[in-house]
């Protein structure tokens, strides 16, 4: 939604003043560090307010009015309306060295969220980000999630915009196909909220079994180039979970769309269509170890030959092992592999160095070590990973330090190496470093 010039100007002035008031509440040292950046990068020019197309503020304002009205009986009369709202402000600086080019930008992100109970309806979760980018000098918003949920005896339902994950192995794409984890190349500060989708689901609890069904309101396949796909409709999936001794066993069925389109190397156009999934996952604690695995058969995926797009089936699997030698330390190993059914024909994928042969099988790894200090103020993780064929490798690290319960410093770093026959070769010898400060209110 885009406001007219007059409303835009009013909202912009209000938001600027609101941000200034919040920033002034931060500690003097942080203000001294960031004052020059705010003045030079964010407020030296007029700021334009760009709003997400499907973010209807009139509906949200009406909904918030209903929430406050319904919640009056549950909130102390002496409490302020703002007691229902949690907020945080994050200032981040993002630096990258991609091959031979350097880039640096700053962002100021205001998050406002609330989780009230609406009498006779359920629990509402809403979170909105307002962001100023030092490059564009514009204020933009992103509705991170907006959903309502409730339960009745052994039935639970949820409807709205939220994140939903499948699978047990962290960051593995075997079953995490609904709201996939961000790529390692999509660098952001630790603990920041990730994107979500408009979904609906219902769950039934019977003894040691939980069965759920979900559907999506629309497909959200990303296409790097123009698309030729005409398929439409929602996705639908089913999951059934069984409690086992010190673990859980899960079964999955789904009719889904890929999150990223497949490029036809002959036409240069992107294509995607519905595929079917059948999978299983499990996790189990064994003394100080946690063992996890995901397995999925994906039917009717698209691949590109030299002349056309064809359908093929693929088996994906992942194994994760976590070991906790103490309360404060954790070691983890993840292995993830894929195997296409058709190994006779030659298939191609686009790469930064040109058209590349698509391998019939692949295997990647990640080894990580995490540590928390005894007072739990500092958390740090370092990891190494890459492809087993040696085409790419990376070194990554992230850390969060709590100055207090309301103030955190966050940082992460990534170093990547890639060979010419790897799709990520454009990022060979690249480095990312991000540093941020978050204050909660």
- Over residues 221-228, the mean pLDDT reads 73
- Residue burial 271-301, b: 16+ Cβ < 10 Å; e: rest: bbbbbebebbbbbbeeeeebbbbbbbebeeb
Question: What pLDDT does 41 receive?
Answer: 46
How far is residue 110's CA from residue 288's CA, in Å, rounded to a whole number?
40
Which one has a higher pLDDT value, 220 or 167? 167
Please determine, for residue 73, whether its predicted confidence score (pLDDT) is greater than 60: no
How far is residue 296's CA from residue 168's CA, in Å, rounded to a whole number?
12
- Over residues 228-235, the mean pLDDT reads 73
Cβ neighbour number for residue 168 with a 10 Å cutoff: 25
Of the candidates 280, 178, 264, the one whose C-alpha atom is nearest the C-alpha of residue 220 is 178
Please determine, for residue 431, whether its predicted confidence score (pLDDT) is greater than 50: yes
- Over residues 367-393, the mean pLDDT reads 94
Pairing of strands 101-114, 378-387: unpaired
Structure tokens at 423: 């799709």
Which one has a higher pLDDT value, 175 or 84? 175
- Between 305-319, 340-354, 356-370, 397-411, the lowest mean confidence (pLDDT) is in 340-354
Residues in the chain: 441
- pLDDT tens digits, 278-298: 999 999 999 899 999 999 999
Please determine, for residue 37, whether its predicted confidence score (pLDDT) is greater than 80: no
Which one has a higher pLDDT value, 53 or 140? 140
Q: Which helix (H) or strand (E) holds 154?
A: none
Q: What φ, ψ does residue 219 adopt, rounded to 5°?
A: -85, 155
> What is the average pLDDT score of the chain?
82
Question: pTM (2 decimals)?
Answer: 0.79
Ranked by mean pLDDT, which of 8-12, 14-18, 54-58, 191-195 comes out on top? Answer: 191-195
Structure tokens at 307: 């002349």
Q: How far is residue 345 from each of residues 124, 139, 273, 312, 351, measured CA to CA in Å? A: 51, 50, 21, 11, 19
CB-CB contact of 439 with 403 (8 Å): no
How far is residue 156's CA from residue 418's CA, in Å, rounded to a whole number?
46
Using a pLDDT cut of 70, give the percent of the chain over it: 78
pLDDT band at 70 (very low <50, low <70, confident <90, very high): very low
Q: Which helix (H) or strand (E) holds 59?
A: helix 57-71
Of the candidates 89, 28, 92, the one whose C-alpha atom is nearest the C-alpha of residue 411 is 92
CA angle 328, 332, 334 (to 5 degrees): 160
The β-bridge partners of 54 are: none
How far is residue 36's CA from residue 316's CA, in Å, rounded to a whole number?
50
- Between 28-32, 336-340, 381-385, the lowest mean confidence (pLDDT) is in 28-32
pLDDT band at 368 (very low <50, low <70, confident <90, very high): very high
pLDDT band at 1 (very low <50, low <70, confident <90, very high): very low
How far is residue 29's CA from residue 266's CA, in Å, rounded to a whole number?
58
- Residue where the block lists tokens 């292995």: 335
Q: How far is residue 75 from each of residues 117, 126, 147, measured CA to CA in Å? A: 10, 18, 21
Please determine, for residue 395, whether its predicted confidence score (pLDDT) is greater than 90: yes
Please determine, for residue 208, whether its predicted confidence score (pLDDT) is greater than 60: yes
For residue 38, the 8-state DSSP code is I
Which one has a higher pLDDT value, 324 or 183? 324
Helices (H) and strands (E) in the chain — how many of each?
3, 24
Please determine, for residue 83, whether its predicted confidence score (pLDDT) is greater than 80: no
Cβ neighbour number for residue 53 with a 10 Å cutoff: 8
Which one has a higher pLDDT value, 152 or 136? 152
How far is residue 363's CA from residue 316's CA, in Å, rounded to a whole number?
10
Question: What pLDDT does 429 receive?
Answer: 86
- Residue where the block lists tokens 């007059």: 6
- Residue where the block lists tokens 């002959």: 266
Question: What pLDDT does 186 receive?
Answer: 66
How far is residue 430's CA from residue 422's CA, in Å, rounded to a whole number?
14
pLDDT band at 231 (very low <50, low <70, confident <90, very high): low
- Between 1-15, 171-185, 268-282, the lowest mean confidence (pLDDT) is in 1-15
Please determine, for residue 33, whether its predicted confidence score (pLDDT) is greater than 80: no
- Between 62-66, 150-154, 159-163, the lowest mean confidence (pLDDT) is in 62-66
Which one has a higher pLDDT value, 290 or 26? 290
Which one has a higher pLDDT value, 441 or 59? 441
- Over residues 389-401, the mean pLDDT reads 93
Of the candidates 182, 184, 181, the one whose C-alpha atom is nearest the C-alpha of residue 393 is 184
Where do the domains of the chain lie?
Answer: 1-113+134-144
The β-bridge partners of 86 are: 113
């Amino acid at each position: 939604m885009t406001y007219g010039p007059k409303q835009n100007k009013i909202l912009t002035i209000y938001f600027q003043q609101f941000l200034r008031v919040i920033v002034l509440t931060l500690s003097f040292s942080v203000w001294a560090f960031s004052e020059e950046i705010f003045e030079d990068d964010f407020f030296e020019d007029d700021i334009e307010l760009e709003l997400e197309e499907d973010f209807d503020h009139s509906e949200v304002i009406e909904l918030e009015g209903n929430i406050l009205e319904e919640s009056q009986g549950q909130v102390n009369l002496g409490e302020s309306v703002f007691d229902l709202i949690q907020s945080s402000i994050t200032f981040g600086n993002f630096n990258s060295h991609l091959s031979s080019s350097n880039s640096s930008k700053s962002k100021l992100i205001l998050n406002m969220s609330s989780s009230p109970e609406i009498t006779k309806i359920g629990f509402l979760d809403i979170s909105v980000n307002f962001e100023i980018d030092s490059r564009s000098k514009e204020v933009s918003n992103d509705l991170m999630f907006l959903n309502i949920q409730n339960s009745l005896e052994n039935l639970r339902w949820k409807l709205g915009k939220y994140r939903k994950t499948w699978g047990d192995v962290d960051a593995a794409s075997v079953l995490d196909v609904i709201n996939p984890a961000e790529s390692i190349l999509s660098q952001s500060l630790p603990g920041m909220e990730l994107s979500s989708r408009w979904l609906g689901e219902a769950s039934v609890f019977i003894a040691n079994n939980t069965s759920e069904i979900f559907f999506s309101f629309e497909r959200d396949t990303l296409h790097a180039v123009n698309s030729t796909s005409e398929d439409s409709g929602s996705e639908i999936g089913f999951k059934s979970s069984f409690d086992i001794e010190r673990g859980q066993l899960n079964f999955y069925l789904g009719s889904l769309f890929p999150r990223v389109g497949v490029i036809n190397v002959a036409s240069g156009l992107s294509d995607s269509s519905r595929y079917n999934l059948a999978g299983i996952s499990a996790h189990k604690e064994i003394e100080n170890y946690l063992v996890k695995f995901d397995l999925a058969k994906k039917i009717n995926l698209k691949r590109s030959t030299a002349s056309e797009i064809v359908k093929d089936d693929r088996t994906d699997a992942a194994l994760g092992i976590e070991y906790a030698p103490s309360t404060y330390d954790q070691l983890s190993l993840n292995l993830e592999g894929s195997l296409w059914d058709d190994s006779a024909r030659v298939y191609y994928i686009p790469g930064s160095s040109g058209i590349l042969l698509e391998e019939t099988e692949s295997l990647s790894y990640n080894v990580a070590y995490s540590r928390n200090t005894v007072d739990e103020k500092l958390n740090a993780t370092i990891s190494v990973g890459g492809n087993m064929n040696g085409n790419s490798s990376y070194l990554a690290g992230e850390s969060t330090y709590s100055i207090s319960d309301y103030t955190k410093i966050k940082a992460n770093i990534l170093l990547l190496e890639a060979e010419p026959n790897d799709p990520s070769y454009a990022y060979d010898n690249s480095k990312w470093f991000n540093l941020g400060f978050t204050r909660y209110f």
